[in-house]
Structure 1
Amino acid sequence: MKIRKRAAALLGLALTAGALAQTAPATASISEVPFCQMSLGSTTSGGDLILRGLYGVVPPGASPSSWGGKDLLPDNQVRLTSGLGTQMNAEQNGESRRQYVVLGTGLYLLTYEVNDFYGDVDPASVKRTPIGGGWGDVRYLESSRFNRGTTLVRHNAYALLGDTILRWNVDGTAFSRKETYSGFSAVKTMTLISQTATYDTFLANTRGGALYTIRIPVAGPPVVKVVRRSTWQGFESLVANGCGLKTIVLGVDKETGAPYLYEFGHANGTATVIRGLGKVPRTFTEVAHARRFQDNQEREQLSGE
């Protein structure tokens, strides 16, 4: 059944303090770890995966780029990718990887095996399972698998299309129980920053430059809260990674290829502490950027709100 729910107001145009109100979490320290890190997987227009490590120091640091897999996807068809989930494959002393990708107008689940963890992709293992069509105008894609230990509690997929955020329950390759939440036409892109058994939270920027958190509960309407009111319009891609009670956020200006790193304290509306770390000493020319994480371990999940 399709359920349509309207958010408090159109983001960037008519949000008010009253519509955005929610209970604030306890203030969290952002000084518990020396610096935050992110494992980034970026997909090129040629369907290749590039791996990088990003380091939240001032100025930001970055590891040399390395191949994560060549020709995983067909040339000039990649539009969007979700987070890049990995699981240890003890039998092969390597890892299994999974990622949702939009190729042209179709959504696919990409899966494959990597020998010796950072070794070569096994070409025979590469599989692109079709999920469905009609994805040509979607401008954001994500999958959130919440685990307790290694036990999967829930799995949801999200997309941003027009003024609507869509959410599905995922079981294997089947998407079901679609819900829609309207009022988000001003959103440019988003990134997942928090996962619990009962909700996911996203950080979103708007074309007008505002920055918001959007909490989408398992039941009930989204809870939207302003974080900043200007200056964030330049990023076509946002990627977040957990770091204790902090979150490291990458913003990429795809027009120039310029990547910037930020350190966020626990999300708490306009009181959220944001520290700009500066420009990463690289130019990112890839089509899509994603967090690379272990998706069967509770410690790899996000707790930014």
Structure 2
Amino acid sequence: MYAPGQIRVSASMNVLDDGFGGVNVFGYVIGGSTLYASGYHATNGVHDGAPLAPIGGGWGSFVSLEEADYQGPTQTHITRRNTYALRNDGTLFRWTLVNGAWRYRASAPGFAAVKTMALVSKSATYDTFVATTRGGALYTIHVPTSTPMKPVVKRVRSSTWQGFETLLAQKCGVYGTFLVGIDHDTNSAYAYAVGRFNGASTVIQGLGKIPGTFPDALYFRWKDPGAPLTGE
């Protein structure tokens, strides 16, 4: 969609069926030091270009970006939109989107060891990420939606996860998570079936290496807007 290296960081991309055999794709990306809204339409693999709408500058030090949009099981529309971004000094930020405007910024320090993170759960009152550290540990970061922002960190595994530069997660079953780790040094990816995240008691089943190679530097999750994540 873009020139190599033009986009440094991508949040999950929303995908909507247009009703005519095509899809509309939209989400947030960081190019250089600017945050953009990205969006395009595609039919049968042919797209109409992907214009970038700038949202703001000062994003050159951010290394991770994700959107958590919550729609309850009895609700007909999304009732909460939060966007999270990790800065390279280990500070985790959260914004609440109100009518398209980024409001109510909150932050919490202490995540300098995080190598990569992926959203695994969201509810009316919290969002939860799974994260690897440079030392090889696997943690969950549980972030209540209340203010001030006070994340709760739990260790899931103490070692062997340092090889992954990217984590991707998708809902599997009622409380399970299908987790993919991508190693950019070897261009390889591995799949895991994870039970409900519960600290060191979490059940993780290795599903093996995924066939093929993964040479790209940037990967992201495709999602339906408001689709549930219930990994914790």
TM over 0.5: yes
1:187 maps onto 2:114 in alignment = yes
Q: Which runs of 5+ in 2 are unaligned?
A: none
Whole-angstrom CA distance in 2 between matches of 1:248 and 1:257: 19
In structure 1, the residue matched to 2:41 is 113
Whole-angstrom CA distance in 2 between matches of 1:119 and 1:198: 38
- Equivalent position amino acid for 2:184 in 1: K
1:278 maps onto 2:229 in alignment = no
Cα-to-partner distance string for 1:140-177 (whole Å, 9 max, x where unaligned): 11011111354011001111111211000123542111
- Equivalent position amino acid for 1:86 in 2: V
- State the shift of 1:276 in Å: 0.9
Spell out the pairing of 1:239-278 with structure 2 (5 A cutoff): 239-244=168-173, 245-278=175-208
Q: Tell me the TM-score normalised to structure 1 length.
A: 0.71
In structure 1, the residue matched to 2:53 is 129
In structure 1, the residue matched to 2:11 is 82
1:99 maps onto 2:23 in alignment = no
In structure 2, the residue matched to 1:29 is none
- State the shift of 1:75 in Å: 3.5
Whole-angstrom CA distance in 1 between matches of 2:167 and 2:225: 19
Q: Which runs of 5+ in 1 are unaligned?
A: 1-71
1:155 maps onto 2:85 in alignment = no
- Equivalent position amino acid for 2:92 in 1: I
Whole-angstrom CA distance in 2 between matches of 1:173 and 1:151: 15
- State the shift of 1:215 in Å: 0.7
Match of 2:167 among 228, 232, 238: 238
C-alpha contact (below 8 Å) 1:131/1:173 kept by paired residues = no
- Equivalent position amino acid for 2:211 in 1: P
Whole-angstrom CA distance in 1 between matches of 2:45 and 2:71: 27
- State the shift of 1:114 in Å: 2.1
Secondary structure (helix, strand or coil) at the match of 1:168 reads strand
Whole-angstrom CA distance in 1 between matches of 2:100 and 2:55: 7
Q: Tell me the TM-score normalised to structure 2 length.
A: 0.92
| Stretch of structure 1 that moved more, 227-236 or 172-181 | 172-181
- Relative to total residues, which structure has the larger helix share, 1 or 2? 1
Secondary structure (helix, strand or coil) at the match of 2:168 reads strand
- State the shift of 1:286 in Å: 1.0
C-alpha contact (below 8 Å) 1:165/1:180 kept by paired residues = yes
In structure 2, the residue matched to 1:5 is none
| Greater C-alpha radius of gyration | 1
Cα-to-partner distance string for 1:219-267 (whole Å, 9 max, x where unaligned): 1511111100111111110000001121011111111211111110000
- Equivalent position amino acid for 1:261 in 2: A
- State the shift of 1:139 in Å: 1.5
Whole-angstrom CA distance in 1 between matches of 2:98 and 2:213: 37
Whole-angstrom CA distance in 1 between matches of 2:188 and 2:198: 28
